[in-house]
Each structure stands twice: as C-alpha cells, then as structure tokens.
Homo-oligomer: A and B are copies of this chain.
C-alpha cells in the first residue's frame, strides 16, 4: 500500500469515527472547504453543496435514528490529488456498501462525496468489526 493510500484510508476511518461518535465538528472538518461536495445517504435524494450536506449530518446526529456504524473491507484508489474508497458499512441488523470520495486540500485528504446504499447479497465471510472502525 502506498503512503497516499494509507492517508486516504486514515481519512476514511476518521469519517466513520466522526459518524459513530456523532461529532458534528469533526464531520465538518473532514469535508472539503473549497471543492464542491455532495452526499447520497441511503435511499435519500442526492444532496448537492456543502450546506445541505452539513445540515444532513447535524440532523442525523441529533435524531433518534443515528446508527451505530463501523466500516470494513476499505479499499483506496488514489489518482493524483483525488481518491475514492469503497467499503462495507456495518449498522445494526444490516450491511451497506459505500463509495467515499476525497480530494487533497491544504495537505489533507478531505471528503467531497459520500454515497451509501443497501447491500442485497449476503457476505458470507464478513465478520463485523468489534469496537473498531476498520
């Protein structure tokens, strides 16, 4: 694994840590400040632009349905200053699959898009992570 891939996976882990800890400040920091951003929560219409995306996280974190979430099987694909990660999300009772996009801003890998949705196929050999986000 290259240093860039490691850095992107660390950013991806930080995303799931902020999500699991319902931390709006950490989540805000993780997302790009200058690049345009978007987000597709499971089953939702796409959200386009930083304000709707951040408002969605605040609403999710403050609501009763904010899931306990962790991530496994993350793979990073890096091309220059852009990268994406695909991974499996574990929430109580189900598995989701996610694509997370990142760009480098100010020397940090910051998120520009999150797309999560249902996983209909069984994953026989996937064990949910225990107490970790990777």
Q: Does A79 contact B (CB under 8 A)?
A: yes
Which residues on B sit within 8 Å (CB–CB) of A45?
97, 119, 121, 123
* Interface SS of A by simple majority: strand
On whether the beta carbons of A36 and B119 are closer than 8 Å, the reply is no
Could you say how many copies of this chain the assembly holds? 2
Name which residue of chain B comes closest to A99, CB basis.
B115
Which of these, B35, B79, B118, contacts A81 with CB under 8 Å?
A: B79
Q: A35-B79, A77-B113, A84-B113 are in contact. Are A120 and B40 (CB under 8 A)?
A: no
Interface set of A (CB-CB < 8 Å, partner B): 35-36, 38, 40, 42-46, 48, 73, 75, 77, 79-82, 84, 86, 88, 97, 99, 101, 103, 112-113, 115, 117-121, 123
